[in-house]
Amino acid sequence: MKELPLINRAHAYGKTAAIRSDSTEFTYEELLERSATLAATLLIDANDLDEARIAFLAPAGFDYVATQWAIWRAGGVVVPLCLSAADPELEYTLSDSETSSVVTTRELSTKVEALCQRLNIPLLIIEEMESASKNPLPEVDSSRRAMILYTSGTTSKPKGVVTTHTNNQAQIETLVEAWEWQATDCIPLFLPLHHIHGIINVLCCGLWKGATVETFPQFEIDTILNRVAADAYSLFMAVPTIYVKLISKLESLTDEERANIIHGFANMRLMVSGSAALPASVHEQWTDLTGQKLLERYGMTEIGMALSNPFHGERRPGAVGQPLPKVEIRLKSEKNELVTAEDEPGEIQVRGPGVFHEYWNRPEVTEESFDNGWFRTGDMAVIETGYYRIMGRLSVDIIKSGGYKLSALEIEAVLLQHTAIRECAIIGLPDDTWGEKVAAAVVLEEGEMLDIEALRSWCRDKLSNYKLPKQLLIVESLPRNAMGKVTKPAIRELF
Ligand code: MCA
Ligand code: AMP
């Protein structure tokens, strides 16, 4: 039977360690075996899940990967859930994706139990999934839908980005080729597993090539640095905030402690930064500290990775390099003309097999986001002596904080439910650690009072931690232009 390439390749890696968590190793063989059992349990008596959406909430590790593979092998579409999501966010994801069942671990089941009951969605507990069925698994063609990831944009609610297996495979193959992934690679995985940085760039690329992925429930800096000091890794991929945190941690250590760890970083064959702009100063500080030249790349949920500094050759601070293999890039000016000259800014547009299939259930939005087959990223860039440099986003309502893409409109919609708030505007304020941090300017109702702590605790059961406002400014009125539209650059000046 023809299997999906990611699964099929795993047979050849047999007893190699695929996943290492808390010093327990799980081989490719174990992944194949467990995912087959989980797939059979998901199928029950059906022959094929036929692209049913199966959401799952699992910490990074063997259970996560076995579940992901099981859904794929049974013909379903994976909808990975955010571990730190608040209830309304989970409800939105499950409803919008029209999820037919949720899979989770016993430990995390309390987080989704009541919600699943309310929405009438069956909840399956991984530890209890033991099918005796020996029914053959379906043959799943790569052209079928594989994954839905929720991403914020210029709409208030996140949109489901649907990729097919072919899209995912193209994104993986592009990176495996460009960054010369090896079967001998070992990489730590501490990024959240509901976004492609963690899922595709780290997890799937590693498993595609037969490498070992060492998982952490989150960015546990001390544990990870101990493993770096033990020379455990050949590769490292992180968002700029993590490099900022690593620099400040390394600087706080004694010379001897630092030297031990730096040795582990210096020995890696590649360290990558992406998901947000890496300030040139951070790039340079990292090189000064470790001797490593970070490779900065640019990507997006809808397209996978698009631009990258070279594996061999100059890695230029402040730039994102050139198009990756299989990725076509063009710049379009404000006048909608193709930019061909250097030093002229334009919107990045992308074409290629890695570009997503559709926004789930939003045909008009999907249509609008393409310009004659080219995906419009909404990011501005310029080519300078052969390398692309990202200049920023077309929309002020998109904030990148700690590598997460946030919609100002989504946060505003939540804040407006607060009885003390009459009007509000959310902006991203520049921040050395987080890239941008979420800040709220609010107009209060007559006689009301509010401080940042009260606001944050009120928001906590409505928004994930990383979306909570970090700064609050109370204003008499929001600055508006002649058309009555709130002017966010003017609000930024107020902070
Ligand atoms: C947390 N804190 C923040 C933020 N997040 N403060 C300001 N801005 C934020 N965004 C505060 C908390 O309130 C808390 O403060 C303290 O920091 C620690 O919070 P915690 O959540 O524990 O932070 P952390 O574990 O250190 O997390 C930082 C992190 C995480 C590791 C950088 O944000 C992360 O994993 N980011 C990666 C996201 C990612 O993978 N994005 C890729 C999307 P207090 O202690 O006072 O309460 S994919 C993508 O972008 C495209 C496709 C691409 O190109 O890759
Ligand atoms: P996401 O919603 O997580 O897909 O975020 C994609 C966005 O992250 C892009 O549209 C860019 O705005 C931003 N991004 C990713 N990589 C970089 C980078 N190297 N430099 C600047 N911005 C980046």
What spacing in Å lies between the alpha carbon of 3 and ligand 2's midpoint? 33
300 lines ligand 2 (CB under 6 A): yes
Q: How far apart are CA 25 and CA 186, in angstroms?
A: 13
Best of 171, 237, 298 for a ligand 2 pocket test (most atoms within 8 Å of beta carbon): 298
Query: Can you give the residue ranges of every domain in the chain?
Result: 5-140, 398-493
What atom of ligand 1 comes closest to residue 219's alpha carbon? 31
Q: How far apart are CA 354 and CA 317, in angstroms?
A: 26
What spacing in Å lies between the alpha carbon of 300 and ligand 2's midpoint? 6
Instruction: Report residue 479 as tokens.
Output: 């600055």
| C-alpha to C-alpha distances, 472 to 353, 395, 437, 440, nearest whole angstrom | 43, 22, 11, 5
Taking domain 5-140, whether its CATH number is 3.40.50.980 is answered by yes
What spacing in Å lies between the alpha carbon of 322 and ligand 2's midpoint? 15
What spacing in Å lies between the alpha carbon of 447 and ligand 2's midpoint? 41
Best of 159, 359, 377, 405 for a ligand 2 pocket test (most atoms within 8 Å of beta carbon): 405
Alpha-carbon dihedral 248, 254, 257, 262, rounded to 10 degrees: 50
Q: How far apart are CA 116 and CA 100, in angstroms?
A: 10
Q: Report the DSSP beta bridge partners of residue 104.
A: 57, 125
Q: Report the DSSP beta bridge partners of residue 186.
A: 212
- Convert the pLDDT of each residue in 140-169 to its tens digit: 999 999 999 999 877 779 999 999 999 999
Which ligand has the shortest distance to the CA of 202?
A: 1
| C-alpha to C-alpha distances, 385 to 314, 338, 414, nearest whole angstrom | 12, 18, 44
Q: How far apart are CA 223 and CA 225, in angstroms?
A: 5
Q: Which residue's CA is the closest to the ligand 1 atom numbered 35?
A: 191
What spacing in Å lies between the alpha carbon of 399 and ligand 2's midpoint? 10
What spacing in Å lies between the alpha carbon of 485 and ligand 1's midpoint? 31
- Each residue's pLDDT expressed in tens, for the chain with a length of 495 residues: 789 999 999 999 999 999 999 989 999 999 999 999 999 999 988 999 999 999 999 999 999 999 999 999 999 999 999 999 999 999 999 999 999 999 999 999 999 999 999 999 999 999 999 977 777 899 999 999 999 999 987 777 999 999 999 999 999 999 999 999 999 999 999 999 999 999 999 999 999 999 999 999 999 999 999 999 999 999 999 999 999 999 999 999 999 999 999 999 999 999 999 999 999 999 999 999 999 999 999 999 999 999 999 999 999 999 999 999 999 999 999 999 999 999 999 999 999 999 999 999 999 999 999 999 999 999 999 999 999 999 999 999 999 999 999 999 999 999 999 999 999 999 999 999 999 999 999 999 999 999 999 999 999 999 999 999 999 999 999 999 988 889 999 999 999
Helix (H) or strand (E) holding 162: strand 159-164
Give the pTM.
0.97
Q: What is the DSSP string of 387-435?
A: EEEEEEES-TTEEEETTEEEEHHHHHHHHTTSTTEEEEEEEEEEETTTE
Helix (H) or strand (E) holding 103: strand 99-104
Residues 6+ apart with CB under 8 A from 167: 146, 304, 353, 354, 355, 356, 357
Residues 6+ apart with CB under 8 A from 103: 38, 42, 54, 55, 56, 57, 58, 67, 71, 123, 124, 125, 126, 129
Q: How far apart are CA 35 and CA 12, in angstroms?
A: 16
Instruction: Report residue 126 as tokens.
Output: 């991984």
Q: Do residues 389 and 382 lie in contact, with contact meaning Cβ atoms separated by under 8 Å?
A: yes
Ligand 1 pocket, Cβ-based, cut-off 6 angstroms? 191-192, 195-198, 218-219, 239, 241-242, 274-275, 299-301, 401-405, 434, 437, 465-466, 470
Q: Which residue's CA is the closest to the ligand 2 atom numbered 22?
A: 276
170 lines ligand 2 (CB under 6 A): no
Token pair 């010093």 is found at 23
Q: How far apart are CA 261 and CA 270, in angstroms?
A: 16
Q: How far apart are CA 240 and CA 247, in angstroms?
A: 11
Q: Do residues 205 and 181 lie in contact, with contact meaning Cβ atoms separated by under 8 Å?
A: yes
Residues 6+ apart with CB under 8 A from 375: 302, 303, 349, 350, 351, 355, 356, 369
CATH homologous superfamily of 398-493: ANL, C-terminal domain (3.30.300.30)
Which ligand has the shortest distance to the CA of 203?
A: 1
Instruction: Report residue 35 as tokens.
Output: 């995912």
305 lines ligand 2 (CB under 6 A): no
Helix (H) or strand (E) holding 209: helix 205-209
* DSSP structure class, residue 251: H
Which ligand has the shortest distance to the CA of 298?
A: 2
Q: How far apart are CA 347 and CA 349, in angstroms?
A: 6
What spacing in Å lies between the alpha carbon of 241 and ligand 1's midpoint? 8
Best of 272, 275, 407, 453 for a ligand 1 pocket test (most atoms within 8 Å of beta carbon): 275
Q: How far apart are CA 277 and CA 379, in angstroms?
A: 12
